[in-house]
Amino acid sequence: MNSEPRVALSRPVADEVRKTTCYMCACRCGINVHLKDGKIRYIEGNRDHPVNRGVLCAKGSAGIMQHYAPARLRAPLKRVGPRGFGQFQEISWEEALSTATEWLGHVRHTDPKKLAFFTGRDQSQSLTGFWAQQFGTPNYAAHGGFCSVNMAAAGIMTLGGAFWEFGAPDWDRTKLFVMFGVAEDHDSNPIKMGIGKLKQRGARFVSVNPVRTGYSAVADSWIGIRPGTDGLLILSVVHELLKARKIDVDYLVRYSNASWLVIDAPGTAEHGLFARDGEGRVQVYETVTERPVPVGTKGARAALSGRFELADGRFAVPSFQLLAEKYLDPKYAPEAVTEETGVAADVIRGLAAEIARVAFDETIIVEQPWTDVNGERHPYFVGRPVSFHAMRGLSAHSNGFQTARALHMLQVLIGAVDCPGAFRFEPPYPKPMTAHPTPHGKAEHFGSDKPLSGPHLGFPRGPEDLLVDAEGKPTRIDKAFSWDAPIAAHGMMHMVIANAHAGDPYPIDVLFMYMANMAWNSSMNTAGTMKMLTDKDPETGEYRIPKIIYSDAYSSEMVAYADLVLPDTTYLERYDCISLLDRPISEPDAVQDAIRWPVLEPDRDVRAFQTVLLDLGARLKLPGFADNHGHPLYKDYADYIVRHERRPGIGPLAGFRGTNGDKAGRGAANPDQLERYIENGSFFSAHIPLEAQFMKHANQAYQDFAVRMGFFDTPQPVTFQLYLEPLQKFRLSAEGLREPVAPETHRDRILQAFDPLPQWYRPFGEALVDREAYPYHAITQRPAAMYHSWGSMNAWLRQIHTKNPLYVPGPICDEFGLVDGDWVWVTSSHGRIKVEIARMEAVNSRTMWTWNAIGKRAGTWALDANAPEATKGFLMNHLINELLPPRSDGMRWSNSDPITGQAAWYDLRVRIEKAEAGAVSEPHFPTVAQPEPEPHPSVLRYGQEWAT
């Protein structure tokens, strides 16, 4: 029978393919945008792109619906009604920009710190940070403080790099991969590709996560740990490894500060600091000649234990002695931590056993001679194929910094950092803490009409680098780098609105934000935040936060709270650079950066925020943005990307530099650079020579390569800091032994948290509430098909997560007589929510959870007000306060890690009770008006015109 219809098998997909970089989440994958009749026909992964190798996630493929979403803002807006109601008038760009210039110019002239400029899911931080620095306000940061600064800071201070953008598991070689709570919208395609590789090779995948969804669902072994106890689990594994003598002593001696001598002089200002000679060189104890010698002395055989007399008569011990004594303590035995972690002792011991077996019995060799930074030649690379990965699950706790430190310590102890099969650095990392700047923002760092004297963000080496005044009061609006959060390396965006509202440490005039949904899912205490944004000073009748400028591409919840809205483009309508100066996309074997370019022209009166920022910079005549005559230095962001130089020959993009475009890393600006990127698929990749691919922290070939590429001007090898001296400096200040001394109010807290060796303490949010009254944990998980709140305006993605139930463990359901679809009140020490539940067994039995940021405020994102996102969806944020419960003296700490200020989202404790069924989840807020929404169709037939 040959009556089968003929099918058009070889229709061309589209008229044209344009290659750019995705922005549907933070992965920054390469995409091929197929255009047909001027519309997007199809978006697929770019096979040549090093990040995603052709694959693309649900979000990436849904880019079509993001680009054409009715929620796109269409023109600059000026608020005409009261704040928070969404009543706006469309204005011209000229009016918008001159208004902003007037507001900002006044602040810059009178008191620059009265501008708070904070950016959210910003991928242009090297520009926004530079702009803020040139403006001269001390108050700038991106969203890292409420995201993963614990991870980043602990990684950089310990290893010189952390997970994700600083390093990745060696997916092709690792034999045991252990993953701790990971957000599935960060680095998601590389992790999924990596898991695919593990599965193909039969490597073992262990997941530590209270919830067994997503990646954890396919893990060979799952450890359903209690939130906030990962550090204790890790230290117990360390205890077992030490007891079993399963550590890489050679690696420790060579690459860590295990042998560095720590002064043992209690009650003095140098107790616990490293012993240094007259030239400031750290000392080790040489066991053959039996005397202290400087680190790096050729042929020295350094002791790892013992107590030795220094030249000045004081005594010192190798830091490793302190480490071993600490973790061999039976309080870290698996049996001792079982109750707190909820993990059986045999499982902890089994994990330690597997780590030990794979690290030491399944060692791999990469036959490639190399030379270390001490000039020693090695015949090959030794690989300990145990790798780790972690993200917010560890990070978003008030003990997250120390937990992340514990994990990095474990990696170093088994010799599994940047060797074959282990976690490997991605250039320009590793980069020692000492190569990072110290923070700037003290009173002497800024002033009227002048730039800040250095970068806002960095790493204080000790209390002397804190951004505080003579009384110890914070100089930044978010109190980052103050005694509250001394190593707040990414700032503390989650505290800005609360502090500005309270006028503590001072009131501000203009709040300027970009892509940060602070009036909704990006804030703790969401209802309170909305109130703070609309609260007026009864004396003046003015808003307490007088002026709010906000830039976003979509009508998010935050838009309604702005006085001036600067509409951004979609990611397909703009230039961007994914820069090595910012958050790089390199791989362990290659240096990489990328661009976006306008593959479609905007059909609305919108402008790319970066171009707007350059325009504002020029209008404000900021140095670096306007020339001596006040003329703009750059036409737009594309021009800036090509011509801006941070250091001579070092610009935002590393590829195709030099007048011929043949230079990588360092080189003159190339006017054709963007064209070259576009021809190359919008990315640049330079392979690291094999000799330089491993042990980068101590590999001479890599260090030379890094200098050649312009990451550093001189080699910057890293010695892993198991013992973290800067923390001890803070302790000495808290003991009143070292200047500047810590304020009385902060001393206990610093002494408790700033252990120079990784430690575990119960998260504050948990420790400070009645554990009986709030017996359960409540956390969120990131769905793989959504990126934060972005996705609900997307007609395809919202069908996958139209609302979010609260997933309640089976035993709790049984105890409270709950079945799917029942409603409950969930109460924390801060607030309560009423939500629908669903039962789940594959979860820690004390932990309830929901998907993050699915709930939306009625009237936003161009959704109908009765959309399930607004009626049944909910935020856990309402249960979380930005402040911890008051202490006995009435003082309230921020709900953050005491070291880094990282927002402690996951410290939440709750109780649950059955509620009457409801029509809407609570709290429910009044519907906001849509700012001139595009009319949206009742039926969507995307691509019907191409139907055959």
Partner 1 sequence: MTTLPALPTPKKLGLVIDLDTCVGCHACVVSCKEWNTGGYGSALSDQDPYGADVSGAWLNRVHSFEVVPEGGEVVGEAGQARIVHFPKSCLHCEDAPCVTVCPTGASYKRSADGIVLVDEDKCIGCGLCAWACPYGAREMDLAAGVMKKCTLCIDRIYNETLEEVDRVPSCVRTCPASARHFGDLGDPNSAVSKLVAERGGMDLMPEQGTRPVNKYLPPRPRKSLAESAHTLPLAENTEGARGFFAWLDGMLDRI
Partner 2 sequence: MHPAFSIIILTTLSGLGYGLAAVLGLGLLDPAATATKCAHVLALALISAGLLSSTAHLGNPQRAWRALSQWRSSWLSREGVMSIVTFVPLLVSAWASITEGAYLPLPGLIGTVLCVVTVYCTSMIYASLKSVQAWYTPLTPACYALLAATGGFVLASVFAFAGGGNTRALPLLAVGFLIAAWGTKLRWRERMKSLVPLSTPESATGLGNIGRVRLFERPHVTENYLTREMGFKVARKHAKKLWRLALVAGAIVPAVLLLVLAALGGQGVLPVAIASLAALAHWLGVFVERWLFFAEARHSVVNYYGG
Q: Which residues here bind partner 2, judged by CB under 8 A?
A: 799-803, 840, 842, 868
Cα(131)–Cα(625) distance, integer angstroms: 8
Looking at beta carbons only, is 343 or 407 nearer to partner 1? 343
**How is residue 612 written in tokens?**
């707007």
224 binds partner 1 (CB under 8 A): yes
661 binds partner 1 (CB under 8 A): no
- To partner 2, the closest distance from the beta carbon of 1 in angstroms equals 11
- To partner 1, the closest distance from the beta carbon of 891 in angstroms equals 34
917 binds partner 1 (CB under 8 A): no
Nearest to 789 by CA among 516, 394, 392, 578: 516
Cα(562)–Cα(127) distance, integer angstroms: 23
Q: How many CB atoms lie within 10 A of CB 539?
A: 6
780 in Cβ contact with 849 (< 8 Å): yes
Among partner 1, partner 2, none, the one that 529 touches (CB under a kind-dependent 5 to 8 A) is none
363 binds partner 1 (CB under 8 A): no
421 in Cβ contact with 211 (< 8 Å): no
Looking at beta carbons only, is 70 or 810 nearer to partner 2? 810
Looking at beta carbons only, is 470 or 939 nearer to partner 1? 939
Looking at beta carbons only, is 220 or 340 nearer to partner 2? 220
Residue 753 phi/psi, 5° resolution? -100, -25
18 binds partner 1 (CB under 8 A): no
SS3 of 487, please? coil
Among partner 1, partner 2, none, the one that 74 touches (CB under a kind-dependent 5 to 8 A) is none
- To partner 1, the closest distance from the beta carbon of 789 in angstroms equals 15
781 binds partner 1 (CB under 8 A): no
Cα(546)–Cα(106) distance, integer angstroms: 13
- To partner 1, the closest distance from the beta carbon of 572 in angstroms equals 14
Among partner 2, partner 1, none, the one that 803 touches (CB under a kind-dependent 5 to 8 A) is partner 2
Nearest to 902 by CA among 436, 490, 499: 490
Looking at beta carbons only, is 583 or 803 nearer to partner 2? 803
- To partner 1, the closest distance from the beta carbon of 578 in angstroms equals 19
- To partner 1, the closest distance from the beta carbon of 86 in angstroms equals 17
**How is residue 870 written in tokens?**
């607004």
Looking at beta carbons only, is 34 or 440 nearer to partner 1? 34
947 binds partner 1 (CB under 8 A): yes
Q: Which helix (H) or strand (E) holds 388?
A: strand 386-389
Among partner 2, partner 1, none, the one that 888 touches (CB under a kind-dependent 5 to 8 A) is none
350 binds partner 1 (CB under 8 A): yes
Bridge partner list, 261: 318
Distance from the first to the final alpha carbon of the chain? 24
| DSSP sequence for 626-681 | B-TTS-BS-SSHHHHHHH--SBTTB-S--SSBSTTS-B-SS----TTHHHHHHHTT
Q: How far is CA 34 from the centre of its chain?
A: 32
- To partner 2, the closest distance from the beta carbon of 32 in angstroms equals 26
Looking at beta carbons only, is 803 or 832 nearer to partner 2? 803
Looking at beta carbons only, is 192 or 803 nearer to partner 2? 803
209 in Cβ contact with 303 (< 8 Å): no
849 in Cβ contact with 517 (< 8 Å): no
Among partner 1, partner 2, none, the one that 761 touches (CB under a kind-dependent 5 to 8 A) is none
585 binds partner 1 (CB under 8 A): no
204 binds partner 1 (CB under 8 A): yes
Q: Which residues within the stretch 807-836 sit at the binding site for partner 1 (CB under 8 A)?
A: 810
Residue at token pair 């870290």: 332
Looking at beta carbons only, is 184 or 735 nearer to partner 1? 184
What value, to the nearest 5°, has the Cα angle with vertex 498 and ends 497 and 502?
Answer: 115
Looking at beta carbons only, is 113 or 782 nearer to partner 2? 782
- 715 CB-contact burial (10 Å; exposed 0-12 / middle 13-18 / buried 19+): middle
- Work out which of 375, 538, 890, 937 binds partner 1, going by CB under 8 A: 937
- Work out which of 594, 813, 863, 908 binds partner 1, going by CB under 8 A: 863
Instruction: Please tell me the count of residues contacting partner 1 according to CB under 8 A.
Output: 130
Cα(207)–Cα(216) distance, integer angstroms: 5
Q: State the helix-helix crossing angle for 319-327 and 230-243, rounded to 10 degrees.
A: 110
**How is residue 370 written in tokens?**
């190399």
Looking at beta carbons only, is 200 or 540 nearer to partner 1? 200
Q: What is the DSSP letter of 78?
A: E
- To partner 1, the closest distance from the beta carbon of 625 in angstroms equals 39
| Neighbour order of strands in the sheet with 16-21 | 16-21, 30-36, 39-45
Residue 264 phi/psi, 5° resolution? -110, 85
- To partner 1, the closest distance from the beta carbon of 11 in angstroms equals 6
- To partner 1, the closest distance from the beta carbon of 821 in angstroms equals 16
791 binds partner 1 (CB under 8 A): no
| DSSP sequence for 564-594 | EEEEPPPTTSS-EEE-TTSS---BTTEEEEE
Q: Would you give the binding string for partner 1 spanning residues 157-196, x where CB under 8 A is met? A: ---------------------------x---xx--xx-xx
The H-assigned helical ranges of 363-519 are: 392-395, 400-413, 496-502
- To partner 2, the closest distance from the beta carbon of 2 in angstroms equals 16
Among partner 1, partner 2, none, the one that 261 touches (CB under a kind-dependent 5 to 8 A) is none
Q: Select from 58-66, 532-540, 598-606, 648-656 the region that touches partner 1 (CB under 8 A).
A: 58-66
Cα(260)–Cα(271) distance, integer angstroms: 14
Among partner 2, partner 1, none, the one that 250 touches (CB under a kind-dependent 5 to 8 A) is partner 1
299 binds partner 1 (CB under 8 A): no
353 binds partner 1 (CB under 8 A): yes
CA 910, 911, 912, 913 torsion-angle sign: negative
Looking at beta carbons only, is 453 or 802 nearer to partner 1? 802
50: amino acid identity, one letter: P
Cα(380)–Cα(401) distance, integer angstroms: 34
Among partner 1, partner 2, none, the one that 80 touches (CB under a kind-dependent 5 to 8 A) is none
Q: Select from 301-309, 538-546, 602-610, 672-680 the region that touches partner 1 (CB under 8 A).
A: 301-309
- To partner 2, the closest distance from the beta carbon of 799 in angstroms equals 4
457 in Cβ contact with 489 (< 8 Å): yes
- To partner 1, the closest distance from the beta carbon of 183 in angstroms equals 13
Q: Which residues within the stretch 23-52 sit at the binding site for partner 1 (CB under 8 A)?
A: 36, 41-45, 47, 52
686 in Cβ contact with 590 (< 8 Å): yes
Q: What is the DSSP letter of 464?
A: G
1 binds partner 1 (CB under 8 A): yes
- To partner 2, the closest distance from the beta carbon of 866 in angstroms equals 13
Q: Which residues within the stretch 244-273 sit at the binding site for partner 1 (CB under 8 A)?
A: 244-246, 249-250, 253
- To partner 2, the closest distance from the beta carbon of 807 in angstroms equals 9
797 binds partner 1 (CB under 8 A): yes
> What Rg, from alpha-carbon coordinates, does the chain have?
27
Considering only the C-alpha atoms of the chain, give the largest distance between any 2 of them, rounded to a whole number of Å.
101
Cα(540)–Cα(828) distance, integer angstroms: 35
- To partner 1, the closest distance from the beta carbon of 594 in angstroms equals 18
- To partner 2, the closest distance from the beta carbon of 840 in angstroms equals 7
Looking at beta carbons only, is 353 or 800 nearer to partner 2? 800
